[in-house]
């Protein structure tokens, strides 16, 4: 249930009373990402073909499960899960994030994955009178949430080097409520320079927010935007454990931002989704986050498997966009991405989809070395 102050604020921003009730209900049951469109892990009512495939390189998941210390910590805590909090698991998680990121603990909020805080940020900063600016192509959940709310959406093409065109994004809607930057970007795997993000923060309109989604940052191993949070900037930096940490099914993520922004994001459900996290997920995340050598080793493994696939595509003369993450975009040029997806599917290899702006380009997730070898073998048959 929304408190009076939150409801008044939302009505002032152009929401109808009917929308208020709907928003409060979906946040209360943790279903907002499902309501606003297909969440990353679910299919839209039609059977998902991926589970039937031998090789699943379509959904940007990790090819393997949690890091060993994370899996051990999750297993160990099950025996004491009769308690809501056998020790101070939430505090331990916050302290681990603070240590790794250099951000104070009251600037961090965990969530079961990052889809929920992503949708919340759109609800909080956009409205029927304040829009969203997002890139094209990019991860679509922010855009879908804004469409669901009836907020105006501007979709701005990437630059020639596939970073976010922050100047064009600001020009597209100089009074927007939220500017969404995904870096490395899904689906291209490309980075937007930190100085461009700083420029956008310095030039955005008052009362708006920049959301930096760093879901794939560990795969790139580049400096991140978290220092902007400790510098007091008006930014939300968002992370998930669904990618390099191999925990998509465990649902863990966090945001870093100013404490008053965290309070604003929590007011729809009194912090319920953030406060009630499954202990195995919390314990696994805490133990994984600090395992820097294992993270680096996993990144290297991904780079080697990606290199194998990219070399093979090159041998066929097939164009691939540059990438720094666990996904790459293949431009078939003369064939549609849909056609190629079917050609791979018939060989039990499930590759990713295309984005409407680029119908001949498929996103392929980097799997294990064995999976990428299977991708190469399937390509030899599919590319005839």
3-state DSSP of 256-316: ECCHHHHHHHHCCCCCHHHHCCCHHHHHHHHHHHCCHHHHHHHHHHHHHHHHHHHHHHHHC
Say how many C-beta atoms besides its own lie within 10 A of residue 201's C-beta.
Answer: 21
Number of shown-chain residues binding ligand PLP (CB under 6 A): 15
Our finding on whether 60 is near ligand PLP (CB under 6 A) is yes
Could you give the CA distance from residue 343 to residue 351 in angstroms, rounded to a whole number?
Answer: 10
At 80, give phi and psi (nearest 5°). -105, 20
Q: What is the nearest approach in angstroms of ligand PLP to the Cβ of residue 270?
A: 21
Asked whether 332 and 361 are in contact (CB, 8 A), the reply is yes
Our finding on whether 40 is near ligand PLP (CB under 6 A) is yes
Q: What is the nearest approach in angstroms of ligand PLP to the Cβ of residue 12?
A: 29
Q: Which is nearer to ligand PLP, 217 or 347 (CB)?
A: 217
Give me the 176-205 binding string for ligand PLP, x by CB under 6 A, dash otherwise. Answer: ------x---x-------------------
Q: Which is nearer to ligand PLP, 115 or 226 (CB)?
A: 115
The set of residues, in sequence order, having a beta carbon less than 8 Å from that of 350 and lying 6+ positions away, is 49, 50, 53, 55, 56, 57, 58, 344
Q: What is the nearest approach in angstroms of ligand PLP to the Cβ of residue 228?
A: 18
Q: Are strands 327-331 and 361-365 parallel, antiparallel or unpaired?
A: antiparallel
Our finding on whether 30 is near ligand PLP (CB under 6 A) is no
What token pair was written down for 322?
Answer: 């540059």
Our finding on whether 165 is near ligand PLP (CB under 6 A) is no
Asked whether 302 and 143 are in contact (CB, 8 A), the reply is no
Our finding on whether 58 is near ligand PLP (CB under 6 A) is no
Q: Are strands 349-351 and 319-320 parallel, antiparallel or unpaired?
A: unpaired
Q: Which stretch binds ligand PLP (CB under 6 A): 114-122, 159-167, 303-311, 358-366?
A: 114-122
Q: Are strands 349-351 and 55-57 parallel, antiparallel or unpaired?
A: parallel
Our finding on whether 366 is near ligand PLP (CB under 6 A) is no
Classify 207 in phi/psi space as left (phi over 0), alpha (psi -120 to 50) or beta.
left
Asked whether 152 and 173 are in contact (CB, 8 A), the reply is yes
Q: What is the nearest approach in angstroms of ligand PLP to the Cβ of residue 17?
A: 29
The sign of the torsion formed by the CA atoms of 273, 274, 279, 283 equals positive
Which residue of 101, 140, 213, 350 would you call a contact of ligand PLP, by CB under 6 A?
213
Q: Of 94-113, which residues contact ligand PLP (CB under 6 A)?
A: 113
Give me the 120-159 binding string for ligand PLP, x by CB under 6 A, dash otherwise. Answer: -------------------x--------------------
Q: Which is nearer to ligand PLP, 49 or 128 (CB)?
A: 49
Q: Interhelix angle for 292-315 vs 369-382, to 10°?
A: 20
Q: What is the nearest approach in angstroms of ligand PLP to the Cβ of residue 180?
A: 10
Q: Which stretch binds ligand PLP (CB under 6 A): 16-24, 240-248, 305-313, 349-357?
A: 240-248
**Chain positions contacting ligand PLP, by CB under 6 A:** 40, 60, 113-115, 118, 139, 182, 186, 213, 215, 240, 242, 248, 253
């Amino acid at each position: 249930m929304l408190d009076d102050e939150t409801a008044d604020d939302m009505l002032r921003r152009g929401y109808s009373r009917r929308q208020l009730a709907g928003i409060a209900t979906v946040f209360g049951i943790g279903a907002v990402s499902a309501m606003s469109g297909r969440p990353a892990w679910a299919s839209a009512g039609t059977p998902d073909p991926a589970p039937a495939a031998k090789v699943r390189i379509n959904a940007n998941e990790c090819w393997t499960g949690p890091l060993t210390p994370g899996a051990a910590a999750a297993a160990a805590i099950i025996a004491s899960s009769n308690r809501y909090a056998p020790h101070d698991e939430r505090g331990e998680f916050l302290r681990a994030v603070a240590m790794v990121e250099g951000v104070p603990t009251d600037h961090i909020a965990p969530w079961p994955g990052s889809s929920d805080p992503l949708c919340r940020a759109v609800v909080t900063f956009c409205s029927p009178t304040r829009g969203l600016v997002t890139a094209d192509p990019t991860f679509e959940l922010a855009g879908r949430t804004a469409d669901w709310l009836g907020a105006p959406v501007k979709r701005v093409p990437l630059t020639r080097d596939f970073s976010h065109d922050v100047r064009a994004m600001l020009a597209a809607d100089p009074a927007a409520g939220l500017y969404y930057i995904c870096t490395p970007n899904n689906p291209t795997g490309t980075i937007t320079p930190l100085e461009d993000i700083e420029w956008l923060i310095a030039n955005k309109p008052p009362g708006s927010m920049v959301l930096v989604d760093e879901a794939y940052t560990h795969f790139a191993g580049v400096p991140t935007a978290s220092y902007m949070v400790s510098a007091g900037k008006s930014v939300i930096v968002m992370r998930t454990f669904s990618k390099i940490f191999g925990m998509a099914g465990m649902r863990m993520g966090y945001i870093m931002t100013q404490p008053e922004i965290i309070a604003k994001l929590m007011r729809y459900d009194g912090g319920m989704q953030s406060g009630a996290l499954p202990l195995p997920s919390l314990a696994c995340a805490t133990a994984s986050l600090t395992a820097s050598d294992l993270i680096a080793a996993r990144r290297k493994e991904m780079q080697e498997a990606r290199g194998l696939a990219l070399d093979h595509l090159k041998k066929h003369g097939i164009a691939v966009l540059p990438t720094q993450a666990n996904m790459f975009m293949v431009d078939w040029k003369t064939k549609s991405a849909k056609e190629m997806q079917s050609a791979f599917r018939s060989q039990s290899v499930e590759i990713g989809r295309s984005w409407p702006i680029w119908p001949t380009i498929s996103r392929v997730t980097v799997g294990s070395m064995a999976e990428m070898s299977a991708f190469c073998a399937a390509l030899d048959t599919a590319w005839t």
